[in-house]
Amino acid sequence: QASQEELKAAYRRLCMLYHPDKHRDPELKTQAERLFNLVHQAYEVLSDPQTRAIYDIYGRRGLEMEGWEVVERKRTAAEIREEFERLQREREERRLQQRTNPKGTISVGIDATDLFDRYDEEYEDVPGSSFPQIEINKMHISQSIEAPLTATDTAILSGNLSTQNGNGGGSINLALRRVTSAKGWGELEFGAGDLHGPLFGLKIFRNLTPRCFITTNCALQFSSRGVRPGLTTVLARNLDKNTMGYLQWRWGIQSAMNTSIVRDTKTSHFTVALQLGIPHSFMMVSYQHKFQDEDQTRVKGSLKAGFFGTIVEYGAERKISRHSVLGATVSVGVPQGVSLKIKLNRASQTYFFPVHLTDQLLPSAVFYATVGPLVIYFAMHRLVIKPYLRAQKERELEKQRESTASDILQKKQEAEAAVRLMQESVRRIIEAEEARMGLIIVNAWYGKFVNDNSRKNEKVKVIDVTVPLQCLVKDSKLILTEASKAGLPGFYDPCVGEEKSLKVLYQFRGVLHQVMSADNEALRIPKQ
């Protein structure tokens, strides 16, 4: 986004710095010629609007292509960008065709009531009765995939299998969705299973206003008892920037009316809901706090009361790797008892393990359901997860270093050559700045700094950039834009793939100052 005036000013400054005639030493003269030619090539590309547009889009490779492999070079910069956007849209459509977006859920129900509700008299004559009986009493598996047919049509195939106490069944569904306009879409659904007969459904979504939408779902379920129709309608409205209100009416199987308000902000998620229906009517309040940490920790709690009883739930979830989130929730209810629910989300797959501990309200069950997962998590995090993630990060960094080793070596040689060529210019700049009591860079380092005690075993990787920074000082000011500083003259990347900073110790008006700047952060010194 630099203007032509900024390009010319930078070109003139670098030409004066790297001009071969300014250096008498044969080795410096050779290095100056190479850097001077690189600067000249860059200016030729960036000063021409057409070649600059091609370079912005395709990089150096685009400049080397011939004929149609890029686009006609006679076109304007705007036309080249328009052509590139068209090609990008086509690539997105091709990628859309190939994407199936698989989603799956595996749920395994565990009955562990024998741990707390054990009756010793029942086990007196049973061999091995000294050990509690823990068994899997139910399982559920579901999977769905999407197949884009055109830019507006999508086919969705889904299926599920369930079993409980030795009895089970499954079903398969096919849905065809069409986006009719920017305001809505429609979906036809066909299903069949061994427990229920054929199913036919129609779902319609429509934006009524920019802040309000409606969803309607009609279904016909065929069974041995006849045809059972069903209708569900949801009306939703944005109450403010972070709050949604929902009204739901369901007729047919388990008829009900439900209203809810959901408020979702950067730090919290709050829901209140009220339902009147057959067979269940209830009121529910839930709150979730989102911590702004690296692991995206969330703590939640909810209260649900109705004709079925009262349930209190509390729990937490945390990101354990780039694609995985682990959560645990304790459920305490009357007459439901105490349960522990463990959930692992891995990309688009969900693994759910509800563990039923007791049918009664036992303090010991609540205690172990709360403390047990915390102890296991912190032990696993310290002994398994953290070392694994550290090793994985090291492998990725090592792979990145190997792939860029030759390029970094070349950049390092160019940076060292540039620093040698800058010495005379820097000497003159320092003399001028000292005369006016201006800006003098005393020391400057660029790279990876270790200030945190938790990272004291990590190695510091920095380079001295005092000379290159002093060379950028003009009229007692140093201004760096929002871009990686590894691209500045005399700089290179000393730690590929790792977090970098710039640390500067400078003197202004005879007073020493120090400033620390992140790699992509803009910097202006002296500070006002």
> What is the token pair recorded at 138?
């139910």
More confident residue, 301 or 414: 301
Confidence of residue 70 (pLDDT cuts 50, 70, 90): very low
- pTM here is 0.64
Neighbours of 41 (CB within 10 A): 12
- Residues 75, 83: Cα–Cα separation, whole Å: 10
What pLDDT was estimated at residue 67? 46
What pLDDT band is residue 401 in, cutting at 50, 70 and 90? confident
Quick check: 282 and 256 in contact, CB under 8 A?
A: no
Three-state SS across 285-298? EEEEEECCCCCCCE
- Strand, helix or coil for residue 333: strand
6-13 own/partner pairs: CB under 8 Å, 24+ apart: 7/43, 7/46, 7/47, 8/47, 11/39, 11/43
CB 519 within 8 A of CB 485: yes
Mean pLDDT, the chain, rounded, equals 86
Which two three-digit tokens encode residue 198?
Answer: 């054929």
Q: Which residue has the higher pLDDT, 128 or 491?
A: 491
3-state secondary structure 339-407: EEEEEEEECCEEEEEEEEEECCCCHHHHHHHHHHHHHHHHHHHHHHHHHHHHHHHHHHHHHHHHHHHHH
Question: What is the rounded distance in angstroms from the CA atom of residue 19 to the CA atom of residue 31?
Answer: 10
What are the pLDDT digits (tens) for 143-190?
A: 999 888 888 899 999 999 999 888 888 999 999 999 998 899 999 999
Task: Report all structural domains of the chain as residue ranges with CATH numbers, in order of start.
Answer: 4-70 (1.10.287.110), 102-116+134-253 (2.40.160.40), 406-525 (no CATH)
Three-state DSSP class for residue 515: strand
Tens digits of residue pLDDT in 179-236: 998 899 999 999 998 777 899 999 999 999 999 999 999 999 888 778 889 999 999 9
C-alpha to C-alpha distance for 436 and 452, rounded to whole angstroms: 39
If one counts every other C-beta atom within 10 angstroms of the C-beta of residue 383, the result is 10
Q: What's the pLDDT at 340? A: 95
Residue 377's nearest CA partner among 303, 311, 295 is: 295
Going by pLDDT thresholds of 50, 70 and 90, the confidence category of residue 458 is low
Query: Residue 84 and residue 299: Cα distance in Å, rounded?
Result: 45
The pLDDT score that the predictor gives to residue 94 is 60
Name the helix (H) or strand (E) containing 15: helix 4-18
